[in-house]
Amino acid sequence: MLVKYIEKILRARVYDVAEETPLDFAPGLSKRLGNAVYLKREDLQPVFSFKLRGAYNKIATLSEQAKANGVIAASAGNHAQGVALSAQMLGIDALIVMPQTTPEIKVNSVRARGAQIVLFGDSYDEAYGRAREIAADKNMTFIHPYDDIEVIAGQGTIGMEILRQKTGALDAVFVPVGGGGLFAGIAAYIKFVRPEVKLIGVEPDDADCLNQALKESERVVLKQVGLFTDGVAVKQIGEEPFRILRHTVDEVVTVNTDEICAAIKDIFDDTRSVAEPAGALALAGLKKYVETRSIVDQTLIAIESGANINFDRLRYVAERAQVGEHREILLAVEIPEEPGSFLRFCKMLGNRNVTEFNYRYFDARNAQVFVGLATSGAESDKPEVIRCLEEERFTVVDMTANELAKEHIRYMVGGHAPRALNEEVYSLQFPERPGALLKFLTALGDRWNISLFHYRNHGAAFGRVLIGLQMPNTERYAFEACLNRLGFEYTEQTANPAYDLFAGGGEEKR
């Protein structure tokens, strides 16, 4: 199985357009982690992503007739740019179908490389379906982003470069996983040439299609995927990649949003470059692997796969990076609503740096404070803080891992309703395109009254919304049916302690 790929990788025509990227030693990370850490800098490609390799190799191997008919792809970002530039270099017509939610900067980048663009649907799946229809109607060749032998072989040249650049000790290579094309190509080459090297895939914990497939020993379709790491937000691992990976992968590590944001900061600290979330995914996995297994004195490589990040998203990344580094904890602390309580509370914190402090008068008996504290990063630091506060008879709820608290509630503290509202609360992902809010509100009609609404723009294709509606519990099913018809992904949050403590109903409810 692997011999076929070795031949294709060695013959891959990627260097007509792609660069052999450097394998950079990361001094800061290496010192901190106690291992020799290297970054394979695919962010330095002409399109700031590895995707160019596979796209060009596939298009370059097409027949002359297929080239004359043109190529088509579905993508919201890196693959689109790779196909567009490859087609431009080869003098071939290219059409890219992109979701209507694609940020304008990405649309303009693809258009600047000479491709025709069709905007369709709110998601990759919808754009993919439309691209397949157009390909059939116009007899164009569809360039798959990962489930294609030639695409996989093109990505496999990264593995070839790694072994050429690192000839000595090499213990493990960490690779981001979406559809699996990058990992399959790297795995095919490295496992054939140096089978002792561990190959570890890294996925977001809310888009772990390979992890789930390996557990079930067959490809599975995830019900939904998180969109923060949009470059790997894939519901099902590719058929051909899985055929390779089920025999070559050593392990899969999953990481959360905070850990990814921390890895983006780590890459910036060592290289002064800004990776996209998917680009920092492998490093986040490397760090977690080292921490959870107490790995020391090994040589480890992480693929920095891309740097196509919108500037607007950096604010969000910076907010979450400290939590991902275990250098900030978020606590909800109940203190008596009486003179001197705040002073006693602050004395308990001592010389710790307070990163956030939110409070608003609500209850004559007790005050709810939302506080962020800088910590040393040691695992024992948070339990010690909580223990000290509880010894002083303060009630403490740890909010550090509460997604609702980090995404919405920390910006809404003081927003308690003055009375019980019979309110049902949901968090949902909202498409970022003109008319989306109007479409949503129109679909709701006047059946339910909106009693709470919080939205933040993160510079991504989808925003996050927290919404509360006044309705009896029996109406919940009808509301969820409405969201299902709209195709929105949602989570019911009425029982979330962050909501209850800082945004829920008034005296009657509490």
Q: How far apart are CA 231 and CA 177, in angstroms?
A: 9
Share of the chain above pLDDT 70, in %: 90
Confidence of residue 210 (pLDDT cuts 50, 70, 90): very high
Between 108 and 269, the higher pLDDT residue: 269
Q: What is the pLDDT of residues 10-32, one digit of tens each?
A: 999 999 999 999 999 999 999 99
6 pLDDT higher than 70: yes
Which secondary structure element, helix H or strand E, spans residue 20, and what is its range?
Answer: none
Query: Using the 8-state DSSP alphabet, how is residue 301 labeled?
Result: E
Q: What is the mean pLDDT of residues 460-477?
A: 79
109 pLDDT higher than 60: yes
Confidence of residue 364 (pLDDT cuts 50, 70, 90): low
Share of the chain above pLDDT 90, in %: 53
Q: What pLDDT sits at residue 53?
A: 97
Q: What pLDDT sits at residue 508?
A: 42
303 pLDDT higher than 90: yes
Confidence of residue 433 (pLDDT cuts 50, 70, 90): low
Catalytic amino acids?
Answer: 51, 305
Question: Exposed, middle or buried: residue 142 (CB in 10 Å: 0-12, 13-18, 19+)?
Answer: middle
pTM of the model: 0.79
232 pLDDT higher than 80: yes
Q: How far apart are CA 338 and CA 490, in angstroms?
A: 40
Choice among 261-265, 454-458, 487-491 with the minimum mean pLDDT:
454-458
Q: Which CATH superfamily is domain 416-502 in?
A: Biosynthetic Threonine Deaminase; Domain 3 (3.40.1020.10)
Q: Would you say the CATH fold of 416-502 matches that of 2-44+149-321?
A: no
Contacts of 203 (CB under 8 A, 6+ apart): 176, 177, 209, 210, 211, 232, 252, 253, 254, 255, 281
SS3 track for 234-294: CCCCCHHHHHHHHHHCCEEEEECHHHHHHHHHHHHHHHCCCCCHHHHHHHHHHHHHHHHHC
Q: How far apart are CA 470 and CA 426, in angstroms?
A: 12
Residue type, 297: D
User: What is the residue extent of each domain of the chain?
Assistant: 2-44+149-321, 51-142, 326-401, 416-502
Between 441 and 409, the higher pLDDT residue: 409
Give the chain's mean pLDDT.
87
Choice among 347-351, 435-439, 446-450 with the minimum mean pLDDT:
435-439
CATH dotted code for 2-44+149-321:
3.40.50.1100
324 pLDDT higher than 70: yes
Query: Angle 257-271/277-293 helices, nearest 10 degrees?
Result: 100
Q: What is the mean pLDDT of residues 218-245?
A: 91
Q: What is the mean pLDDT of residues 106-135?
A: 89
459 pLDDT higher than 80: no
> How many CA atoms are closer than 13 Å to the CA of 235, on its beta-carbon side?
8
**Class of 326-401 in CATH:** alpha beta
263 pLDDT higher than 60: yes
Structure token pair of residue 342: 């705040």
507 pLDDT higher than 60: no
CATH dotted code for 51-142:
3.40.50.1100
509 pLDDT higher than 50: no
Tell which residue, 435, 484, 430, has the closest CA to residue 461. Answer: 430
Q: 182: phi > 0 → left, psi -120 to 50 → alpha, else beta; which? A: alpha
Choice among 211-225, 276-290, 297-311, 476-490 with the minimum mean pLDDT:
476-490
239 pLDDT higher than 90: yes
Between 126 and 204, the higher pLDDT residue: 204
Confidence of residue 138 (pLDDT cuts 50, 70, 90): very high
Q: How far apart are CA 306 and CA 238, in angstroms?
A: 20
Q: What pLDDT sits at residue 233?
A: 87
Strand 141-142, strand 423-431: pairing? unpaired
Beta carbons within 10 angstroms of residue 371's beta carbon: 23
506 pLDDT higher than 60: no
